[in-house]
Amino acid sequence: FQKSLNETFGADRYSEARKEVLTNMFSRPMQMALYFCTGVLEDETLFRHYALNVPFYTHFTSPIRRYADIVVHRLLSASLGTSPPIKMEKDAIQLQADHCNDRKMASKRVQELSADLFFAIFVRVRA
């Protein structure tokens, strides 16, 4: 897919801009990853990562970046027995996950609206 896109971008001065716009447009419809507590979901097929084709998957980055990553680090560490068990009920963990999902979606929406605004300003100035 990437190869065919690269071939359609051309080699003129706007090829990089076309590539960036089309890549952005193609990635928008992809389902956004969601945080959830595995103890709340009964359907283990929801744990899989489609693109990586693995049945169980967790994701996190440095715990200094986001609260959700701190929670994942603590839960993973507790499940591996390298730290004490977490003293939160699964429903409380799910509430935290829901809150993190809400904030992430709001942030994504603001980012998209900001890009739309700057594009509109760009078009207006160039018109």
Q: What is the pLDDT of residues 46-97, one digit of tens each?
A: 788 777 888 888 877 777 778 888 888 898 899 999 999 989 999 999 999 9
- Look at the chain and report how many structural domains it folds into: 2
Q: 18 with 48, same domain?
A: no
Helices (H) and strands (E) in the chain, counts: 4, 0
- pLDDT average, residue stretch 4-15: 73
Q: 82 with 97, same domain?
A: yes
State the residue range of the domain holding 12: 1-30
Separation between Cα atoms, residue 41 and residue 33, nearest integer Å? 15
- Residue 28 or residue 112, greater confidence: 112
Q: 22 with 69, same domain?
A: no
Q: 84 with 48, same domain?
A: yes
> Per the confidence metrics, is the pTM higher than 0.75?
no
Q: 70 with 45, same domain?
A: yes
Contact call for residues 76 and 63 (beta carbons, < 8 A): no
Q: Which residue has the tokens 């996950």?
A: 97
